[in-house]
Amino acid sequence: MKNIRLHSIIAVVVLATLLPTIRAQSAQSSQDQGAQVSQDPKQRRIAIREAMTKQDGMHQAAKINGGNLYLSQFYSYGWFLFQTLESLAETADIGIVGTPISCEYKLADNGSSIITEYKVKVEEAIQGKVRYEDVVTVDLPGGRIVFNDGAVAEVEMANFPRLIVGRSYVLYLTVPKTLTTYQPLGGPEGIFELKTDGKVLPFATPQFTSAAKKDDDAQDFLGRVRIASGRQKRQP
């Protein structure tokens, strides 16, 4: 009986002695696997794509890529385009002239994507249930996140400019069923900057909008915006 207890004690002591070594070897093995992924571009790309489909994907993808992930993406226009002021006015939940007063980068889709959240002050309520000096929240794709462990993930939308705090825009906005914040209708198609030189800058490229051309007169453009929205207001 004493021998059995002695063997049991010895086994426990040996296991306790080896456990830190096993954990250290396991950690080292994980580091080695990570190093192998980082050294093989193909494996790294596959691992990053897989990570980004899961929860906390941006964070994990950044860690796989050595702590810094930069992605340049293109906004994909839908099958139905909003190329005219009339189509924008007909479909938008609200239309405003507004100025972003703040912006904040946030994770979305359970951490698998990044958005920029803007607080936009209404300078003119063009259409919809919105009033002068209301502040509405508008989300645009892309942004930059620094995680607690120092890893960084950034997504830049190459064909979708970001709003600039303090500048003035005409925005046609909608609220998707799954969200509580506004998004521009048709992405870039629903955004027009009113530049300080009195000109207009559509966010959509010419092949995706005929609502305005670059350097159109801002006051003329606003007149057409009000007319298009006024027609919607008169409809039963």
Residue with tokens 């830190």: 20
pTM: predicted TM-score of the whole model, two decimal places? 0.79
Query: Where does the pLDDT of residue 101 fall: very low under 50, low under 70, confident under 90, or very high at 90 and above?
Result: very high
Per-residue model confidence as pLDDT tens digits over 206-215: 999 999 999 9
Domain span at residue 149?
85-234
Look at the chain and report how many structural domains it folds into: 2
| 124 belongs to a structural domain | yes
Is the pLDDT assigned to residue 16 strictly greater than 90?
no
| Same domain for 92 and 52 | no
CB contact burial 52-85 (16+ within 10 A = b; e otherwise):
beeeebbbbbbbbbeeebebeeebebeeeebebb
CB 59 within 8 A of CB 190: no
| 79 belongs to a structural domain | no
Is the pLDDT assigned to residue 103 strictly greater than 80?
yes
Q: What residues does 217 pair with on adjacent strands?
A: 199
| Same domain for 225 and 166 | yes
CA atoms lying within 13 Å on the CB side of residue 119: 7
